[in-house]
Amino acid sequence: MSTPQAKVTNLTVGGGAGGTEAIYEDLAAMGHLTDDIAGNTLGIAMTSHKYLADPDLLASAVLNPGGAARFEGAMLTALDGPSGLTATSAAIGLRGMTFQATNAAYHLADDLNAKALAASRWLEGAAMVHMPGLAIGAGIGIAGDVYLNHHGDWQEWLTAHPGVIDEVLGRTPGAVSTLTGIPTDLATLTGLVADAYPDGDPKLTDMGTDGDPIATDPPSNLGELFNGLDHRNGTDANIDIRKITQPDGSVAYVVDIPGTKVWNLPGQDGGSANDFGTNIDAIAGNPTVLQRGIQQALIDAGVPKDAPLMLVGHSQGGIVAARAIDPLLADGYNVTHVVTAGSPVGGIAVDERVQMLSLENNGDIVPHLDAADNPASDNRTTVKFDHQQGNIGGNHAINGNYTEAAKQLDTSGDPSVRHFRDSASVFFGGRSVETHQYKVERQR
């Protein structure tokens, strides 16, 4: 087994306000602004041409033909000369088109690269069905690596090579399509698995106010925010709602959503909303009993719809948090921030009004379960880090992994992280917090 690292290391930040896409979005905005300036400049030039045929000017030409000619010449140069308003307008317009074309080219290339990767994985899956020797050879190679370099420990090998999950999931549709003769993709297959887990209606139980110090002290930073999520993960309640009151009397709310608690097969229903069925439904994009339970809890807790609302989730909780954004916004809630830890959320679109921070341990296989990288948009910041403990559970746990990474982010000078912290200031440093616990189950 690998010796656990003493602390989280090698934090890298992608996307967000300081990311590449934000720069390209700024280029696009500059392009539109430049277009407006070019249009205004051209309008001034066109309007000014009327002075060349002004009746007073033509009348003065009889008395002072030389002066009128000099005026006409100067005016034409100012309007239509090499450095005149018309040429300047054209140059500004061309610059605006360049800005917008650069932004469009970046997004097109990014989209084509993603589609090319998905297509290549699909074809690799199909090839393995036609040439099973490829799969056998790959399996033998992996087995040799496991026993030669990882002491026969499959968990250690898998957590050292989590990208294999992306490859396996990405190749599965091609293999299934070839075997069945019916073209399919990963979203369709995930939907079929989700159909085996009927969702049901939520049963909400108010478990009262949590008197634990973690739940009664307002979070001052990201590290303390994650401590609250870790605390909730160890209780019988599967969500809580924290009402944070600032010194000026303003309020903001944080919803903590822990991860999976029940790993059940199709047909097995233990009543929990934090089960494997919720995982599959959430990844597939279906409404879940846990998501609807959160909406009911917000009503029961009397959360004002205009109050800033942050959703914080680990693993399954992060998927549900990301999926809950659109329904909550549609219902009028002011969702401003979402924080996920160890969650596969790359395939989930996030409304541009919401700032999202996603933490991923490089040795955690769970964020790979959707076979999709997180978009690097200006409202989505992804932080990856190393904390290899040599086993799946250890690398995925909140405490010691994500709590420690969050603490380091509190002092990070990265512009994307700093922007997220600043934008979320209403959730930190309050004078008091009141935490209500809720249990969401499936009605039977």
Name the residue ranges covered by the structural domains of the chain. Answer: 9-21+201-442, 25-112, 114-195
What 3-state DSSP class applies to 147? helix
Dmax over Cα atoms in the chain, in whole Å? 104
| Virtual torsion, Cα 112, 115, 120, 121, nearest 10 deg | 150
Cα–Cα distance measured from residue 197 to residue 194, given in angstroms and rounded to the nearest whole number = 5
Give the model's pLDDT for residue 220: 94
**Length of the chain measured in residues:** 444
Other CB atoms closer than 10 Å to residue 423's CB: what's the count? 15
Give the model's pLDDT for residue 246: 95
Cα–Cα distance measured from residue 391 to residue 66, given in angstroms and rounded to the nearest whole number = 92
Give the model's pLDDT for residue 32: 62
Amino acid at 253: Y
Closest CA to 435 of 157, 224, 180, 172: 224
C-beta separation of 193 from 228 below 8 A: no
Q: Both tokens of residue 14?
A: 């992608």
Which helix or strand (DSSP H or E) is residue 418 part of?
A: helix 415-423
Q: What share of the chain is helix, strand, coil (3-state, %, to 5)?
A: 55, 15, 30
Total-model pTM:
0.79
Cα–Cα distance measured from residue 394 to residue 387, given in angstroms and rounded to the nearest whole number = 9
Cβ neighbors of 211 (< 8 A, separation 6 or more) are: none
Amino acid at 438: Y
Cα–Cα distance measured from residue 169 to residue 184, given in angstroms and rounded to the nearest whole number = 13
Closest CA to 252 of 305, 314, 328: 305
pLDDT, tens digit only, all 444 positions of the chain = 444 445 899 999 998 877 655 555 655 566 566 666 656 665 665 666 565 566 765 566 666 777 666 766 676 676 566 666 666 666 655 565 555 655 565 555 566 566 666 777 777 778 888 787 777 877 888 888 888 888 889 899 889 989 888 888 888 888 888 888 888 888 888 888 888 888 888 999 999 988 888 888 899 999 999 999 999 988 888 899 999 999 999 999 999 999 888 888 787 766 788 888 888 899 988 889 999 999 999 999 999 999 999 999 999 999 999 999 999 999 999 999 999 999 999 999 999 999 999 999 999 999 999 988 998 888 999 999 999 988 999 999 999 899 999 999 999 999 999 999 999 999 999 999 999 999 999 886
Give the model's pLDDT for residue 139: 80
Q: Rounded to whole angstroms, what are the CA distances from 58 to 51, 64, 76, 78?
A: 10, 10, 15, 19
